[in-house]
Structure 1
């Protein structure tokens, strides 16, 4: 079976062919179907690119979307230097500036300043869930280059992608780490998020699935996105403070370093891929255009500032209304109405919460355990145990607790579902979370294992030995796609890709 990967539409731009491949392209061009940017939704196309092996038509749609976004940001400013030879100095100045700002932040915290980002644990978990569409496609913008692994001028970019995949080790693969983080705190699934939250992830996926058409933009995006941002350092610090494992974020701090990390490698890669033949500055113009793509969509701070705990509680209760309506007896009434009656219309949820508070079921700004409503959700005889996810419990807890939840010991809803809620020092919480973190088996890189009970792995093990060397390489690349690289077959394929050199 011949697996043809990266059959992309022919490039609109004139670039030296050797930047794209060491051999002539064999893919037939596919005409992109133009779609209206005003009516297109991000989430459906995101899903096809992130969770499946997309069709040529879907990849063409992604390319059309990408061209639209490039037009939208064309007049935006970028932070890259005018002269590409100044990239390293620019990177070092940026990191020095970020480090200085972070030290200033730390000094302010030592002096008694409150957390800058997260009001409480619920706020932090909200953030982790809202940014999931971007984090779950981490590194995807570089995927399309894997099919050209023999091109030495792309080696730094391909190495960066493979490192995003953790070199095939489960406890270092960025997407798998984030999936584990979401699952640990009951933040998944994330299929009900607002459509704008998928925009940045869709940009990254569109680049990855159309790398041959947008190579300079891929280089530019990588150049801007791999620089160390201040928000990464502060996020890691405050998550740890709230007893949430920051490993996913601290890992990015280390790999984006200025010496041997992705920040430095991105600068080197931009120069390596640049044409030696004079192109009139077209390559660098497109690199700068690609760097602007990292700022499209909702930013980290946009998401953080979008948290409103009152609205989030209402959203959670409204979501439960349809399943809870009809499940309660009429024995208990709140403000003269049965619970079933209150839940018959999701629009009544704000009034229902107000009635619960007025009736003494909820005692705001007091320990949650003092509220009868909370004891229905948590405790030895909680009649509604399991109705709410750990994240939903955290939001309800912090909403009831009020301002005291900002500085008090964090309630760990995930632990509470398994028994008594833990209240521990942040250092103890961090050690426990680190102990739970999955570790790679030292011998796992040697041979594939069907013990994973993974259907894709079974297919891979049966088919791979029957293919030619070229077809084997194509199958490895296919298994390293965004939809698969974090799974057993993808982790195996990544290790094999490295071993093939």
Structure 2
């Protein structure tokens, strides 16, 4: 491995660096339509550093590649049995395992977004080799992550819509640790020629069917949040004919016949272990603290609204502007609102005067709080109160249709014109540029995906 550049030593990309750390900057640099030489060099340094960490982790892959398919199928069987046990527990009256309330579910959706918004990116660098049959399973997997160019099936578009529907699409506040997996995926995707065994291994691990995916889908449905994005992954990541099976097929077909087969497989196992770096889904879920998240939200509001309130209303002898004038006063402010009866904990939030100031078109503070922020406040006030019959509020997917996507975009005709002007041998490369992780979900990228798919038929 290469010598690491200083910015990617282990001490430089931990969560304490917050929102301005090098991993987030790398993530953003790699999520561009044109990659700079410096970004590519940083990607290599980062990937080498991550692989050094991964080498210290245990690995449950079988010792021999011929055992992979059985290993994958046995893992899938364990997962489905564990899910059956979970469903049995729920039927017996056990509470949700992951999401105590709707706010926690939205918190989860928001914090895994940097990973979900680059879905499949680790395979992007294989597209120039589309004529090599040994890589076809992985190229097919990438295109399926892109919905084969159909907007309603493109994974990134689906996740963007899910975030937007619930006011969770502002990611500026996310910390460095939430970008680790996404940065790894982008780095692998841009450096696939140098790290093919690691790409194969990472893909093998990522495409297994995890228990948390099944439980997440079930509990989101209960909370009235559209689970389609997660359900889609349940169906395509299967060990019989889906991405998990294709992942095994790709490893077996790319093992060298003449070169060092064992060394290649060791690198596959190392790439597999990259899946265990960064925050996993269960760790994100477990990190949720409703009151801490609420206070953080109010503190951010305080910074931009400290002196915009009138002074006619006093709470516990202080004006609202005085309460908001200094950091660290939000716990006392909320306690004062509760003492005055403006907030009535563990009751229907509609009974709280403060909630009626926040929610609804006629509310005095309408538009001040995003839907996600409102959900935090609602669930904090509600506490252990639950409505007699929770209403299903799942919003149906509103991703544009294929016809709408093409009709509303001039790029479609421009792309057709551009391709006609190019020699036939150069057209695939132009399409590959447009179906990168930075642009495959755009109208031009969706059309390019459909056109590129024709080369594989």
Q: Same fold (TM over 0.5)?
A: yes
Of 237, 242, 260, the match for 2:241? 260
Q: 1:219 aligns with which of 185, 192, 200?
A: 200
Tell me if the contact between 1:53 and 1:483 (Cα under 8 Å) persists in the aligned partners.
no
Deviation at 1:479, TM superposition (A): 0.6
Further displaced range: 284-293 or 333-342: 333-342
Which whole-Å CA distance do the structure 1 matches of 2:131 and 2:268 have between them? 22
- Conserved in 2, the CA contact under 8 Å of 1:133 and 1:197? yes
Query: Would the aligned equivalents of 2:54 and 2:273 in 1 still touch at CA under 8 Å?
Result: yes
Structure 2 match to 1:499:
454
Q: Tell me the residue number matched to 1:477.
A: 432
Alignment counterpart, residue 79 of structure 1, candidates 53, 60, 64: 60
Aligned residue in 2 for 1:100: 81
Distance 2:4 2:438 in 1: 23
1:440 equivalenced with 2:401 (yes/no)? yes
Q: What is the number of equivalent residue pairs in this alignment?
A: 447
- Which stretch of the first structure deviates more once superposed, 376-385 or 118-127? 376-385
Structure 1 residues 36 and 266, CA, compared in 2 at 3 Å: closer, same or farther? closer
SS at 1:119 equivalent: coil
Q: Is the 8 A contact 2:255 2:261 kept in 1?
A: no
Task: For residue 325 of structure 1, report the CA deviation from its aligned partner.
Answer: 1.6
Pair 1:483–1:437, CA change in 2 (3 A): same
Match of 1:27 in 2: none
Whether the 8 Å CA contact 1:328–1:339 is kept in 2: the answer is: yes
Question: Does the aligned pair in 1 maintain the 2:69–2:248 contact within 8 Å?
Answer: yes
Residues 32 and 61, structure 1, Cα contact 8 Å, conserved in 2: no
Structure 1 pair 315/409, CA: closer, same or farther in 2 (3 Å)?
Answer: farther
SS, match of residue 56 in structure 2: coil
Residues 302-352 of structure 1: CA deviation (Å, up to 9, x unaligned): 100100000011011111112222211111111111111211223211211
By how many angstroms is 1:60 displaced?
1.5
Aligned to 1:451: 408
Which of 234, 242, 253 is equivalent to 1:272? 253
1:147 aligns with 2:128: yes
Over 3 Å counting, the alpha-carbon distance change for 1:99 and 1:474 in structure 2 is same
Q: Could you say which residue in structure 2 is the equivalent of 1:375?
A: 356
Deviation by residue 1:176-214 (Cα, 9 ceiling, x = unmatched)? 100000000000121210110100111111100100110
Offset of residue 68 of structure 1: 0.6
Query: 1:488 aligned to 440, 443, 447, which one?
Result: 443
Unaligned segments of structure 1, at least 5 residues: 1-11, 14-30, 411-423
Separation in 1, partners of 2:436, 2:326: 43
Residue aligning to 1:205: 186
Separation of aligned partners in 2, 1:356 and 1:500: 64
Question: Contact 2:346–2:383 at 8 Å: present in 1 too?
Answer: yes
Is 1:289 paired with 2:250?
no
**Contiguous gaps of at least 5 residues in structure 2:** 14-21
TM norm structure 2? 0.93
Render the CA deviation track for 1:388-409: whole Å, top value 9, x for unaligned: 000100110000000124x765
Match of 1:39 among 4, 12, 24: 12
Q: For 1:21-36, what aligned pairs fall within 5 Å after superposition? A: 35-36=7-8
Contact 2:124–2:436 under 8 Å retained in 1 = yes
Distance 1:208 1:500, change over 3 A: same
Q: TM-score, normalised by structure 1?
A: 0.85
Distance 1:370 1:123 in 2: 22
Contact 1:32 1:60 in 2 (8 A): no
Q: Summarize deviations over 1:21-62 as a string: whole Å, max 9, x none.
A: xxxxxxxxxx99664423352111101112443212201211
Corresponding residue for 1:415? none
Alignment of 1:138-177 (within 5 A): 138-177=119-158
Aligned position for 2:113: 132
Deviation (angstroms), 1:465? 2.8
Match of 2:174 among 193, 204, 207: 193
Indicate if the aligned counterparts of 2:181 and 2:275 stay in contact, CA closer than 8 A: yes
1:113 corresponds, among 83, 94, 99, to: 94
Matches within 5 A, 1:254-403: 254-279=235-260, 281-379=262-360, 381-403=362-384
Structure 1 residues 380 and 82: alpha-carbon distance in aligned structure 2, compared to 1, 3 A threshold: closer
| Cα displacement (A) at 1:462 | 5.2
SS of match in other structure, 1:347: coil
- Structure 1 distance, partners of 2:304, 2:70, is 58
- In the superposition, relative to structure 1, how do residues 353 and 168 fare at CA in structure 2: closer, same or farther (>3 Å)? same
SS at match of 2:335: helix
- After superposition, the C-alpha distances for 1:416-466 in whole angstroms (9 at most, x for unaligned) are xxxxxxxx3x4xx45xx33x443633x67xxx9462266xx6764553332
- The answer for the alignment partner of 2:419 in structure 1 is 464
For residue 71 of structure 2, what is the aligned residue in structure 1?
90
- Contact in 1 for aligned 2:431/2:448 (Cα 8 Å): yes
Residue among 228, 233, 247 paired with 1:247 = 228
